[in-house]
Amino acid sequence: MIAKHFTIPVFIPMEACPFQCIYCDQEKISGHAHIPDAGEIQNIIQKHLSTIPFGSEIEVGFFGGTFTGLPIVMQKHLLETVKPFILQQKVKSIRLSTRPDFIDNEKLLLLKNNNVETIELGAQSMDDEVLRRSGRGHKAEVISKAAEMISGFGFRLGLQMMIGLPGDSEEKSLNTAKKFVGLMAKDVRIYPTLVIKGTPLEKLYRAGKFIPLSLDEAVEQTAAIFPVFENAGVNIIRTGLHPSEGFLDNSELVAGPFHVSFKELVLTQIWNDRLRKIENPDNFDEITISVPKKQINAAVGYSGKNRNMLKQKFRKVRFVADPSLQNREYNVDYR
Ligand code: SF4
């Protein structure tokens, strides 16, 4: 049996980020949060460990900032804090997120010698125009070089992309996904661009110079990207932003395709694209669609969307699980 995998998240905010990505609220990130000290980190890890089932594969993830942009002393200190848990075999490894232009041999060597196994890069796009208009401060070739170095050092490579950034298009996003596959990413995260309060993007939006994707557009674009990663065996570890409080009560979100069940909407759409082709030229009364057990919810669709679509063509629509089917295979039986 494969051990269940858990990541214990430790949030490391940027204290003073020298960049200004257009979608980021610098004030909030740098002003109000602090880097947790050793005691706080150990508490976070202990607390999570007490809830994780025995025998699981556990990693500690330093997220939220540009880890390799921190002073070397601070990086060493954070990595050292996890070491006792690794020596006691309570934690297997460390993962962290950083910017592609903060990767070099010296930094990678430090991480390699301190139990880091996975490095995630906030790449966002492989299109230079999108990167420029989003204020990322680097070009796509920097992402390629950093990704190659990370894989070359033997780390597991994670890449994060955003869709709907200024200057982006469905074609450019698909291209970014294909380039991620070419860069040998093992894990990816896909985030639709949201307009957050206090960001330069909010100013552009209010001035009518930026229009975010609609929810339907974001779902359709992400549904087109999914197969690119799935067919290449890339693990999609996150789709859509976490429903934090500010998004749920609208205090942070100004505009954009946010939905608490964004991933479910995407999985529904992928099945919708397949099942939409089913016609009923012979006027059958009833249709039964067999799908793999794991796929039944997505096939029926969020709020029954795909079932309702088929109900416009058949009086009765049934979905059943068939253990002999794989991935998104399906069979249809008409009556
Ligand atoms: S998203 Fe961009 S601006 Fe915001 S903290 Fe990260 S690198 Fe800095």
294-319 pLDDT tens trace: 999 999 999 999 999 999 999 999 99
- Tell me, in angstroms, the distance from the centre of ligand 1 to residue 118's CA: 20
Q: Identify the three-state secondary structure at position 335.
A: coil
Q: Which of 15, 22, 66 to mutate for ligand 1's pocket (most ligand atoms within 8 Å of CB)?
A: 66
Domains, the chain = 5-260 (3.20.20.70), 278-334 (no CATH)
Alpha-carbon gap, residue 35 to 330, rounded angstroms: 49
- Tell me, in angstroms, the distance from the centre of ligand 1 to residue 273's CA: 36
* Side-chain half-sphere exposure of 176, counting CA atoms within 13 A: 35
- Tell me, in angstroms, the distance from the centre of ligand 1 to residue 258's CA: 20
- Tell me, in angstroms, the distance from the centre of ligand 1 to residue 17's CA: 6
- In the structure, which protein residues have their CB atom closer than 6 angstroms to any atom of ligand 1? 14, 17, 19-21, 24, 26, 29, 66, 99
CB 238 within 8 A of CB 190: yes
Q: What is the CA radius of gyration of the chain?
A: 22
Backbone torsion region of residue 188, taken as left when φ is above 0, otherwise alpha when ψ lies between -120 and 50, otherwise beta: beta
13-32 pLDDT tens trace: 766 677 889 998 866 654 44
Matching residue, tokens 């039944």 = 296
Q: Which of 19, 131, 161, 191 to mutate for ligand 1's pocket (most ligand atoms within 8 Å of CB)?
A: 19
217-260 pLDDT tens trace: 999 999 999 999 999 999 999 999 877 656 777 788 999 999 99
Predicted pLDDT of residue 17: 73
Alpha-carbon gap, residue 201 to 210, rounded angstroms: 7
Backbone torsion region of residue 256, taken as left when φ is above 0, otherwise alpha when ψ lies between -120 and 50, otherwise beta: left
Which pTM value belongs to this model?
A: 0.93
Predicted pLDDT of residue 54: 87
Query: In which residue ranges of the chain is pLDDT below 50?
Result: 30-32
Alpha-carbon gap, residue 256 to 258, rounded angstroms: 6
CB 239 within 8 A of CB 222: yes
Ligand 1 closest atom vs CA 24: 4
Alpha-carbon gap, residue 15 to 34, rounded angstroms: 7
Predicted pLDDT of residue 32: 47
Q: Identify the three-state secondary structure at position 52.
A: coil
CB 156 within 8 A of CB 186: yes
- Residue whose Cα lies nearest atom 2 of ligand 1: it is 21
